[in-house]
Amino acid sequence: MPVAIITGASKGLGRALAGALARRGWDLVLDARTASVLQEAARSLDGYGTRVVALAGDVTDAGHRAELVAAARELGSLDLLVHNASALGAEPLVRLEELGLAGLRVALETNVVAALGLVQEALGLLRGSPVGAVVAVTSDAAVEAYGTWGGYGASKAALDQLAAVLAVEEPGLRVWAVDPGDLRTDLYAAAVPQDDGADRPEPASVVPGFLRLLEERPASGRYEAPSLARGPGGGVVWGGLGGAAGPDGLAAAAPADGAGRPGR
């Protein structure tokens, strides 16, 4: 069975993706900070007959990252690493003039430094997989200037660049930065509490886009999950490493026009 590590897997997109992979026979190593919520998420996967290891901790802790990779090694391999854990830097979000530098450091440590640290820890196993892949969950706040989203957006822009460089340095892997779009999540509720989120879709609605990447394995690049979920012919913002087209015409394209509110 293939093995995936998913961080931030107790709620929202991480939990929805874990459920979809479990239904498809993946063994999973799941991470989140709150042990009780993570254990409940893991128990919800009991009926699928796959092995699930739930390890509570903080991805900014190097020891915890090592535990996640060690658990995957115990399961026999590592085929997919999903960095979904995120920090906003301020809750609710504030203008840059008010953004505490300590909060910005937390966002950078969680969204960028921890992501790279986990990749570094996992590279040996990922290289050993014939289908090794890294998914960095990003945001349109990385490429568009939204008021109050500056700190979070800067951290996701840095994550995008790490993913792009990793793809160049590790041509044997697929490295996808994936913007999940505008979703109804606890993260968004904490960012903008005055927005009740009633008009935003559930995280499960974009999971088919992530599954499409795994099934078709297009070139490394930056993708938009909602477009991928709608079917062939959409989803790429940049990528292709030289413009090469992947399955179903997933080819490099110009950056998408910014519209709406930041995702995640």
Q: Each residue of 10-30: pLDDT tens digit? A: 999 999 999 999 999 999 999
- As a whole number, mean pLDDT of residues 86-109 equals 97
Return the closest-CA partner of residue 235 out of 219, 216, 222. Answer: 222
Distance of alpha carbon 68 from alpha carbon 120, whole angstroms: 12
**Which of 80, 195, 69, 83 shows the shortest CA–CA distance to 122?**
69
Dihedral, CA of residue 204, residue 3, residue 176 and residue 106, to nearest 10: 80
Average pLDDT (84-109) is 97
54: number of Cβ within 10 Å: 21
In this model, does residue 110 exceed pLDDT 70? yes
Residue 166: both structure tokens together:
């990793």
Question: Which residues make beta-bridge pairs with 4?
Answer: 28, 80
State the Cα–Cα distance between residues 22 and 207, nearest whole angstrom: 13
Q: What six digits make up the tokens of 149?
A: 């989203």
| Number of alpha helices (DSSP H) and beta strands (DSSP E) in the chain | 9, 8
pTM metric for this prediction:
0.90
Question: CA–CA separation, 82 vs 4, rounded Å?
Answer: 7
pLDDT higher than threshold 80 for residue 194: yes
CA pair distance 34, 205, nearest whole angstrom:
24
